[in-house]
Structure 1
């Protein structure tokens, strides 16, 4: 019996020793993967030490300037909401690269607050934008310090985040990303005389203190119409959904129709309530084209011509699905992703494709060329990004295994813009209407307080993307 117990004990000890080695090896790997070289200054760890500033219901207190306590510590900080105390951010210490200007140098570091959604429904987008900061190039000529404040994806969170920035004496901010969050900051920004470059595209929020940097749908649609006119287009179809973006597109097209009386516009609103197949069949004029084709075949059969010519004409007609002009010579599709591919496929089924209609999209088509869909060939889309963005996209994907979106490019461009004009940030009137040639295209801060951008019309051609048309910033 004793011998039996010794056998079991020996077996248990062997198994324990084996798994113990495995655990130690695993811990060793984990330890190596998070090791930080303390001798290098490439990274700044943002820590939270000061007490959280609570949100108050008193609007007058909310809009008052909050001064940093005299005994506050000088460490760089990111302030985290109470429910997210465990959040920690590590990102590169960023320095200016190749943007020197003898006219606008600062005597000290530029400090910029980033009002981003670290938590909440837009947290994934916030993470992608923080990756933009991580990717920002480094150089020894100019220091820029970023302080990240969590908006929690809400208006209330945005107000709290900004008040935390005020407690840190930060004067310049990029963000937030949404119109509602931006609107929530208007009074605070005005009373505290700070400058906010919102990533929203809602121009109704622009003010003396808030500047709108998001992509303008109106400018893109205007450029598309300009390109359609350049191609001698007269009849334009628009396919959109009944969501917020679809309604925005329709409203802007209606405004443009007043400025372009020589062009007629027709709309197809896509919703969950309609049979998309039937609606696209009607919208494309398919049945009328089929009837016209049948009549033409009968007319040719009745011609008094030689058999060879008759056979040739009939064979040519029988290869067609429809005959006659389409209801539109140009088509704008305000959809993206799988919805876009589905619509293009249905249009092709009903004999509408890039061979007989010029098909356009807006910036929401950006990145769709990663698809191998044939229905995209010879179509066009508007973008405020030049094809120089491809290098940035490759580098971003190499580091983060995902592709950047439009806001990543806007944030990158804004950082460069702020550095280049660092000496004028307290008096932006001096740089309004001046064209800045950025990494992805030209931009201009307008008198109204929003950024105007050069617009490019790109074409999908044989699996490649090429620039087809440009709306210069002077003409926007």
Structure 2
């Protein structure tokens, strides 16, 4: 495990000196929280180099309603301003627990790069970052947490994996140290241990809620038979009930099988619908009126009736599995022109333009405004774009810097009811350990996607 302190007075390795030295990004409860400044201070041990690049966009961290700070007027010409004693710098020692070795080292380096960028950009001279290598294992995470605790850390940022979060929990709780993990697993949550990744339940709730608002009241789920797919189906049941919609049917396909056809055929109720259509065609064939002939011609290209019992279909899958499912749905006469296809955040970074049947589909997504700005700054600094994961590290460190700068030395305001605005939009940490994120809804187009429902910018309900 390498432990290195970094302070906000030097730039991250790879920083492009041509860019402005700092930018104002974070606002907190009506006050501009800070502009960023980062540096690598010397360590007792050799400083680890920043070799991997992060992968995520920049952000702003702020609560609900915010105002620009008031700037006092300059003193009259010729008069020197009164001497003031600068406030004492309050030290905030934050341990970043990430895999800097092992199979997940590239992800860990990306998280580290984003954390360093956040420290550089949020001007808190009292913020001290210490990086500890978890090696991507539970044992490594536990040892890293013990070392960080012994070094005086008051906040843990990370670790990445659920098993690592569970491994550091006892260490953190025994010392009263809050944990801002990067996990998306709700089972990793416990007292003062938060997950900051994008939770699946709110994604499903957002997209089904939006569909219901558009009048699509009958929802079905076709999901992979995996923990993720099962969790999505469970979330869909709650989301439908909350939005006033009805969950009409749910089915699971085995993503390990080469052929999903039997599952999709049964899900689509193809046998009954085919028989229904054949009876209608037979009845029309004996009729001689023009209307019957026109209807028979209209049905000529169909093998089954179009009377499925759902208006919207959630498919929490991506990649080859998604494309195979969509192709089979078309084959079994589930018309994407009549059934709105819904996805999850899995679609956010995927190129879906190669599948015409997905054009018009909806999926939840993080707000692009802060993310795109963060991506530009990250790319300028490190020479390549960040990943969505890196944005989590940026926001966590920026939040720590902002709160550490204005706080009383404790981290009680992590759960501020008004929330914050980060790289991925508005979010807040609940006292129960979950994170609430304001999500947009995007629609797949022939050339990419477009926003059809923007992410809200503030929380209107209390916990």
SS at match of 1:215: coil
**Correspondence 1:74-473 to 2 at 5 A:** 75-76=42-43, 88-89=49-50, 107-108=89-90, 110-133=92-115, 135-136=117-118, 138-139=120-121, 141-143=123-125, 144-256=127-239, 259=242, 263-271=246-254, 272=256, 275-306=259-290, 309-369=291-351, 372-386=354-368, 388-393=370-375, 404-422=386-404, 423-424=406-407, 426-429=410-413, 432-469=416-453, 472=456, 473=459
Preserved CA contact (<8 Å) 1:292 1:324? no
TM-score, normalising length from structure 2? 0.74
Q: Distance in 1 between matches of 2:177 and 2:144?
A: 14
Residues 315 and 419 (structure 1), Cα distance of their counterparts in 2 relative to 1, 3 Å cut: same
Query: Closer, same or farther in 2 for the Cα pair 1:400/1:184, shift >3 Å?
Result: same
Q: 1:134 to 1:324 in 2, by over 3 A?
A: same
Stretch of structure 1 that moved more, 395-404 or 284-293: 395-404
- Contact 2:112 2:393 survives alignment (8 Å): no
The separation in 1 between residues aligned to 2:11 and 2:383, in whole angstroms, is 22
Moved more, 255-264 or 221-230: 255-264
Cα displacement string for residues 26-79 of structure 1 (whole angstroms, at most 9, x for unaligned residues): xxxxxxxxxxxxxx953479xxxxxxxxxxxxxxxxxxxxxxxxxxxx943679
Structure 2: 5+ residue stretches without partners: 1-8, 15-40, 63-67, 71-86
CA RMSD of aligned residues (A): 3.6
Q: Secondary structure at the match of 1:368?
A: coil
Following the alignment from structure 2 to structure 1, what is the Cα–Cα distance between the partners of residues 345 and 420? 21
Measure the CA separation in 1 of the matches of 2:45 and 2:52: 12
- Rg comparison, structure with higher value: 1
SS at match of 1:318: coil
Q: Is the 8 A contact 1:387 1:467 kept in 2?
A: no
Distance in 1 of aligned mates of 2:354 and 2:380 = 21
CA–CA distance in structure 1, aligned partners of residues 59 and 274 of structure 2: 61
Distance 2:88 2:302 in 1: 68
Secondary structure of 1:107's partner?
coil
Compared with structure 1, are the counterparts of its residues 369 and 134 closer, same or farther at alpha carbon in structure 2 (3 Å cutoff)? farther
Which deviates the most, 317-326 or 340-349?
A: 317-326
Higher helix fraction (1 or 2): 1
Between the aligned partners of 2:298 and 2:213, the Cα distance in structure 1 is: 31
Name the CA shift for 1:395/1:465 in 2 (closer, same or farther; >3 Å): farther
Q: 1:268 to 1:356 in 2, by over 3 A?
A: same
Could you list the per-position Cα deviations for residues 176-224 of structure 1 after superposition, in whole angstroms to 9, with x for gaps in the alignment? Answer: 1122211112221122222221111334443443222121211112222
Q: Determine if contact 2:195/2:433 at 8 Å carries over to the other structure.
A: yes
CA apart distance, 1:131 = 3.4
283-292 or 422-431, which deviates more: 422-431
Unaligned runs of 5+ in 1: 1-39, 46-73, 81-86
- Structure 1 pair 137–387 and aligned structure 2 pair: CA distance change class (3 A): same
Q: Secondary structure at the match of 2:299?
A: helix
**Residues 256-292 of structure 1: CA deviation (Å, up to 9, x unaligned):** 4665675134222121358411211221233333333
Q: How many aligned positions are there?
A: 397
Shift of residue 460, structure 1, vs aligned partner: 0.8
Distance 1:396 1:293 in 2: 57
SS of corresponding position for 1:356:
coil
Measured in 2, the distance between the counterparts of 1:345 and 1:124 equals 35
Aligned residue in 2 for 1:3: none
Judged with a 3 Å threshold, the aligned counterparts in structure 2 of structure 1 residues 196 and 241 are, in CA distance, closer, same or farther, namely same
Residues 204 and 102 from structure 1, CA distance in 2 versus in 1: closer, same or farther, beyond 3 angstroms? farther
With normalisation by structure 1, the TM-score equals 0.72
